[in-house]
Amino acid sequence: MKQRNQTFLLFFFLSAIFGFSQQKFTLSGSVSEASSNETLIGVTIAVPELKTGVVTNEYGFYSITLPEGDYRIQITYLGFKDVTQTITLNRNLKLNLQMVEAAEQLEEVIVTEDVERLDIRKPQMSVNTMSVETIKKIPVILGEADVIKSILLLPGVTNAGEGASGFNVRGGAVDQNLILLDEAIIFNSSHLFGFFSVFNPDAIKDIKLYKGGIPARYGGRVSSVLDIFQKEGNSKQLKINGGIGAVASRLLVEGPIVKDKAAFLVGGRGSYAHLFLPLFDQDNTAYFYDLNTKLNYNINDKNSIYLSGYFGRDVFGISDSFVNTYGNSVGNFRWNHLFSDKLFSNLSLIYSDYYYGLKLDFVGFNWNSGIQNFNVKYDLKHYINDKLQINYGINNIYYSFNPGEIEPSNPESGILEEQLIKKYANEFAAYIDIEHDITENLSLGYGLRFSNFIRLGQDELNIYENDNPVIFDPLLQLYQEADPIAISEPGRSGSLATFNNFEPRVSLAYTFNNNSSMKASYTRLAQYLHLLSNTNSPTPLDVWTPSGPFVEPQLLDQYALGFFKNLKEGAYSIETEVFYKDIQNRIDYIDGANLIANDAIETVILNGEARAYGLELLLRKNEGKFQGWLAYTLSKSEQRTPGRISNVNSGRSNLETGINFGEWYNTPYDKTHDISLFGSYDLNDKWSFNTNFVYQTGQPTNYPIGQFEFQGLAVPFYGLRNQERLPDYHRIDLSATMTPRKNKNRKVQGEWVFSIYNVYNRRNAASINFRRNQDTGINEAVRTSIFGVVPAVTYNFKF
């Protein structure tokens, strides 16, 4: 009897999970745009009768298993006309769906689903999705639509100010963000040192920013994931669109190779403001260009292949004596295969290269450096039933680091060719992610990622006394670089260090009703690469280094709790989250650290810790002529590096002061208050208006706290790290878009975008430096600002 009861309980449990209790069938297929066959990501396929549904994955595929019966299926997506279809599910059914853009309909269309709105029932939290349409509305510097500048308006996202590259998420550093373009790693996301991003908005299809609750398929960074997919190309007809701006222009062409089966996409951008510099007797250069490409071929119903690439370069020069060139090159070959109507797979072969170099004719040499990586990914998504989905896969990345190569620019320079020691590493990961609807009100997402990082052999490796590359002088109370006592030659074979980490992820959502829910998440992440930079904003010459014998991997534990609510049937929404982050092995630098061309970087860095915590609030208006959001973040970001424990007379004693005397201090990206307001108003079919307001607490910095006289000179001295702040940052931006009414009768359609950046000409401080006044001999503060008010005009076209 006992055995029969156990068998019954086991059968009941399996029935609850896998749906054995009654006959079920699978509805599956893909969703694409009718005018181009472009697959759509995040389309909702809902079954109202069962209060269930599914969304399309990154490749436009969906699958849902339901009991036998007749159903009314609702398909919704932002900017497209809703589709309602009745089906009879008495067998496995393949249903490929196509959606029509709302703008192409004669009648008024009310959009009932918004890709940017929160999903009440899903356990995924701390994620923001922005449509390309929204990004193109947001006023930015010089009038060019910009992905990175747009996400800075989201809660928990900031940067180091105007002209600063990269972005910071929830108090994290720039190098702690994983940036992916068609699954390829982007190491520098900025053009012209932060004025533009490397992402051409015309070529972008989908953008997601994960700030927490990061799925197990992602790894390698401890702060966030910015996942961007390019368009695949129009396989129906030839389309051309672009824009002409004040400082840059762009053009994108897409069309069929084989109609309805194969397509191409080519997009290019370039800046030309430097062409006008000779008119002002300037012999300097500052420009960028990039190229986006993609080919896709639908072999049959079960197989599709894609080949995508990106190439970008920045050139900055002062006459011909100094030229800085840097940029990304990536390529990805992807194969989608459908094993069954429930099992989808994707194989990717990815190459990524980041190059940064200098031409220094005034000293007679050139500098070349960079990072290359080769990545093999295999991901599978298994749709067990309408309550359970499993994602699993593996990926392997091989890294090659060139920290720097010096080569003479001419034979007479007297400079000897020198190669800094190249470094190599391999990062392997395997993961499983489960999405599980436990009850109608409770949903879980849980998974595990295993990561293995091997620091491979290299030509030379320094050996230090007591295995300590940084020594502390107790008399001077200073950390100093240790001299190596020997140099080993391990060679390329073998490994120098191996790290293994299990990275669990769990998130849950409890739904109170159709309009409100509570969510919570825990995330563990490991990061094995480190950006060596002692400036507030990264520069192209900053060096990446892998974990190894003297550098431990960063380890993150993040906890988040949130409340989410839709108001007035989704016309308004509220998102609130609190978070806490704890990071081990955060790199810190000794005073006076030299990072440029340093072949023994381990002698200037120490392993510390970091923490960040805060509250995020996002209020949205999602419908009507006026739409927008208000984002507010209250947060704290700190780090510390206490003195190391030393063995003295067989006892344990802490004689070192640590960095900042071992006390917590503000990170350079700590912003106590961060307020962002975005509004968009459609006056009529001809005019629309957009505005931003941004306010941030000034970023931490160091000011002199006193001075002393030395041989007649006033020498300032400084206190503890980052105790002072720059003045608070704020500005208002405006833009107006004019679309001629005669566009409807023209093959070529255009629009004019007029924008004003920093309307009230706020001179926000990029830095404050101190100098001695030549007349008075007194030290004085000098504020450096990058931009005041900046008007711009852009003309966009398509045909």
Distant-in-sequence, close-in-space partners of 730: CB < 8 Å, separation ≥ 6:
693, 694, 695, 696, 762, 764
Q: Under a CB-based contact definition with an 8 Å cutoff, are residues 796 and 753 in contact?
A: yes
More confident residue, 49 or 581: 581
Sign of CA dihedral 459, 465, 468, 474: negative
Residue with tokens 């008007």: 791
Residue 646 confidence (pLDDT):
62
Report which residue type is found at 480.
Q
Write out pLDDT tens, residues 110-120.
Answer: 333 344 444 67
- For residue 123 the two structure tokens come to 């356990």
Question: What is the value of pTM for the model shown?
Answer: 0.91
CA angle 117, 121, 122 (to 5 degrees): 80
Q: In whole angstroms, what is the distance from residue 33 CA to residue 80 CA?
A: 9
Report which residue type is found at 118.
L
* pLDDT band (50, 70, 90) for residue 2: very low
Average pLDDT over residues 278-301: 84
Distant-in-sequence, close-in-space partners of 456: CB < 8 Å, separation ≥ 6:
424, 425, 426, 492, 494, 495, 496
Q: Under a CB-based contact definition with an 8 Å cutoff, are residues 218 and 341 in contact?
A: no
H or E element in which residue 3 lies: helix 2-18
* pLDDT band (50, 70, 90) for residue 648: very low
Average pLDDT over residues 362-388: 89
Residue 768 confidence (pLDDT):
82
Contacts of the segment 373-377: beta carbons below 8 A, 24+ positions apart: 373/185, 373/397, 373/398, 373/399, 373/400, 374/350, 374/398, 375/183, 375/184, 375/185, 375/348, 375/349, 375/350, 375/351, 376/348, 376/349, 376/350, 377/183, 377/346, 377/347, 377/348, 377/350
* pLDDT band (50, 70, 90) for residue 656: confident
Q: Under a CB-based contact definition with an 8 Å cutoff, are residues 407 and 414 in contact?
A: no
Neighbours of 364 (CB within 10 A): 14
* pLDDT band (50, 70, 90) for residue 12: very low
Residue 714 confidence (pLDDT):
67
Q: In whole angstroms, what is the distance from residue 534 CA to residue 542 CA?
A: 9
Beta strands (DSSP E) in 52-156 are: 52-55, 61-67, 69-76, 83-89, 93-94, 97-99, 127-129
Q: Under a CB-based contact definition with an 8 Å cutoff, are residues 693 and 675 in contact?
A: yes
Q: What is the DSSP letter of 16?
A: H
* pLDDT band (50, 70, 90) for residue 191: confident
Cα torsion 634, 761, 161, 158 to 10°: value is 30
Q: Under a CB-based contact definition with an 8 Å cutoff, are residues 435 and 389 in contact?
A: yes
Residue 513 confidence (pLDDT):
87
Distant-in-sequence, close-in-space partners of 729: CB < 8 Å, separation ≥ 6:
161, 694, 695, 696, 697, 698, 699, 764, 765
Helical segments of 66-218, H only? 132-137, 147-151
Average pLDDT over residues 430-449: 93
Question: How far apart, in Å, do the first and last CA atoms of the chain sit?
Answer: 75
CA angle 218, 222, 223 (to 5 degrees): 100
pLDDT greater than 60 at residue 14: no
CA angle 149, 154, 158 (to 5 degrees): 60
Residue 541 confidence (pLDDT):
62
Half-sphere exposure of 556 (CA within 13 A, CB side): 33
Q: Under a CB-based contact definition with an 8 Å cutoff, are residues 72 and 58 in contact?
A: no
Residue 599 confidence (pLDDT):
82
Average pLDDT over residues 234-247: 91
Average pLDDT over residues 354-380: 88
303-318 vs 83-89, strand pairing mode: unpaired
Rounded to the nearest integer, the mean pLDDT of the chain is 86
Write out pLDDT tens, residues 485-515.
Answer: 999 888 888 899 999 999 999 999 999 988 8
Report which residue type is found at 511.
T
Average pLDDT over residues 270-276: 77
H or E element in which residue 7 lies: helix 2-18
Q: CA-based Rg of the chain, rounded to a whole angstrom? A: 28
pLDDT greater than 70 at residue 323: yes
Q: In whole angstroms, what is the distance from residue 732 CA to residue 730 CA?
A: 7
CA angle 205, 211, 217 (to 5 degrees): 70
Residue 192 confidence (pLDDT):
82
Residue 104 confidence (pLDDT):
42
List b or e across 462-489, with b for residues whose CB sees 16 or more CB atoms inside 10 angstroms: bebeeeebbbbeeeeeebebbebeeeee
pLDDT greater than 50 at residue 535: yes
Find which of 218-227, 315-324, 618-627 is predicted with most confidence, using mean pLDDT.
218-227
Neighbours of 99 (CB within 10 A): 20
Q: In whole angstroms, what is the distance from residue 550 CA to residue 534 CA?
A: 19
H helix and E strand count, the chain: 3, 55
3-class secondary-structure state, position 115: coil
Q: In whole angstroms, what is the distance from residue 42 CA to residue 56 CA?
A: 5
Residue 749 confidence (pLDDT):
86
Average pLDDT over residues 658-672: 91
